Amino acid sequence: MTNKRELFQIMTRRFGLLNKNCCSVGGHDLSAAQSHILYEIDRAEAPSMQQVAESLGTDITTFSRQIQSLVKMELIEKSPSPADRRVSLLSLTTTGKFVAATIDTQMNGYLDEVFSYLTPFERETVLRSIDLLNGAMAKSDRCCAPIRDDQAEDTTPNDPE
């Protein structure tokens, strides 16, 4: 209660568990990482590989392979950008959209159950708080953004851009 870190440690652990083998839809069994990828592609407008890898904080080579397997699963399509043929634009296939929507429903179901233990007022408050928190994290540059290098206690003001 007193300690911020304690609260967040517990929370992230629980969410980690929730996400563990996050979603099986039909025959497909997706990992949390894969679900995040689908989510992000759905959200953005035909993003490039780099864009998605960057916003998920995944190494581009790892991401390349993650995409390869999602393409093989026929959830994602890659098409060369007309503007720059080095770039691959990502989009969800029809199946991919369906899977993404189903996961969304599932997750909302889980969350509804969790929220059922709260009063309507508490629900409201919690949702608003998460929103505030997301906003605050977005503003922070010390954390929560893709970190390139070490962030040792010495706090060298390195700027990786």
Partner DNA sequence: AAAATAACTTGCATAATGCAAATAAATAGT
Partner DNA sequence: ACTATTTATTTGCATTATGCAAGTTATTTT
SS3 call for 28: strand
Question: Under the criterion CB under 8 A, does residue 94 sit at the interface with a second copy?
Answer: no
Q: Mapping DSSP to helix (H, G, I), strand (E, B) and coil, where does residue 59 land?
A: coil
Site for DNA (CB under 7 A): which residue of 62, 105, 125, 151? 62
Does 64 contact a second copy by CB under 8 A? no
- Amino acid of residue 131: D
Identify the sign of the CA torsion 134, 135, 138, 144.
negative
Q: Is 78 in the site for DNA (CB under 7 A)?
A: yes
CB of 60 to a second copy, least distance (A): 15
Q: Decide if residue 13 touches DNA (CB under 7 A).
A: no
For residues 56 and 64, the answer to whether their CB atoms sit within 8 Å is no
CA separation, residue 28 to residues 25, 91, 103 (Å) = 5, 18, 11
List the single partner that 19 binds among DNA, a second copy, none, CB under 5 to 8 Å by kind.
a second copy
Residues within the interface to DNA (CB under 7 A):
31, 33, 48-50, 58-62, 64-69, 78, 84-88
